[in-house]
Amino acid sequence: MSTEWHKLIINASDENQKEIISAWFMHFGAESVVDQEDHLEVYVGNDEYESLINAINENNIVPIDSWSSEKIVNQNWNAVWESGFNAIDVGDIHIRAEFHPPSKKTEIIIQPKMAFGTGHHNTTYMMIDWMQNHDFSNQSVLDYGCGTGILAVYASMRNAKLIDAIDIQEEAIENTHEHFKLNNLSEDNLNVYQGDLDKLPPRKYDIILANINRHVLLDNALNLKEKLEPNGILVMSGILEEDKELIMETYTKEGLDLKDEDQKGEWCCFRFGLKL
């Protein structure tokens, strides 16, 4: 568990520029990006900080004089997120924090702390958008890289019969349990694990949700395939457009077929099934 974090302040006000910079930082391992009026706040764990700084210097994504950083210890992340977290609609779903007024739509209530997944990032948006048009009744679901647990929460709302959620960050484990309680959902069919796929029980899933970075997706193609039921579907995001061909090639070689895809901004969302 990271007890120390680094906050990078990136000076930017143009919305298109912010989207590109946010995508780039998430691609290279940032935990969260908060959009403020005239800058971005990028949060990265102590273990990933050095490699992220090296990537900044090597890729020249942001000018050397346009950003600064400071080390911070774990704090009241609710207050941090409150400052930049606005309610958002994804189709018929309204995602908000406790301090936002309620909506007449189906709601998911989020207190994200330092875990990733609020619906604001294009990757989470596309995952939720797909989920609201898919039947989860009596389906077994794996939320791989669960972050806030938002996808597991919504799978439960859509009557999944079993949900396994897993993440390497202790904050994500805590956040997932908290969000089930916050959304008045039973945890009888929920199991939350800390670690990687080898920590899961030996079972297969009807639906695998993997909103995670491309390095993890590339390293775990075979493992995810082996976790998928014969007629199951693997839904993944966290993939930049420039990595699209590499992801498709890797998963096709492992015996999966691309069934469908979406794109929002620079980010892609793929649906794979096993070759039958």
- The structural domains of the chain, ordered by start, are 4-75 (3.30.70.980), 88-274 (3.40.50.150)
Encoded amino acid at 75, one letter: Q
* Residue 115: predicted pLDDT: 45
Look up residue 125 and give its two tokens: 């948006």
* Residue 117: predicted pLDDT: 52
The half-sphere exposure of 27 on its side-chain side, counting CA atoms within 13 A, is 18
Give the Cα separation of 223 and 198 in Å (integer).
9
Report whether pLDDT(76) > 70: no
Give the Cα separation of 32 and 121 in Å (integer).
10
Q: Convert the pLDDT of each residue in 189-246 to its tens digit.
A: 999 999 999 999 999 999 999 998 888 999 999 999 999 999 999 999 988 888 999 9
Q: Convert the pLDDT of each residue in 30-73 to its tens digit.
A: 777 777 778 888 888 777 888 888 887 787 777 766 788 888 76
pTM: 0.74
Taking the CB of residue 66, how many other CB atoms lie within 10 A of it?
13
Report whether pLDDT(78) > 70: no
Taking the CB of residue 27, how many other CB atoms lie within 10 A of it?
20
Look up residue 63 and give its two tokens: 């000018």
83-87, 102-106, 179-183, 190-194: least confidently modelled range:
83-87
In the block, tokens 């009026």 appear at: 37
Q: Convert the pLDDT of each residue in 147-190 to its tens digit.
A: 889 999 999 999 999 999 999 888 889 989 999 999 999 999 99
Report whether pLDDT(1) > 50: no
15-24, 160-169, 243-252: least confidently modelled range:
15-24
Q: What is the mean pLDDT of residues 71-77?
A: 63
Look up residue 62 and give its two tokens: 């942001």
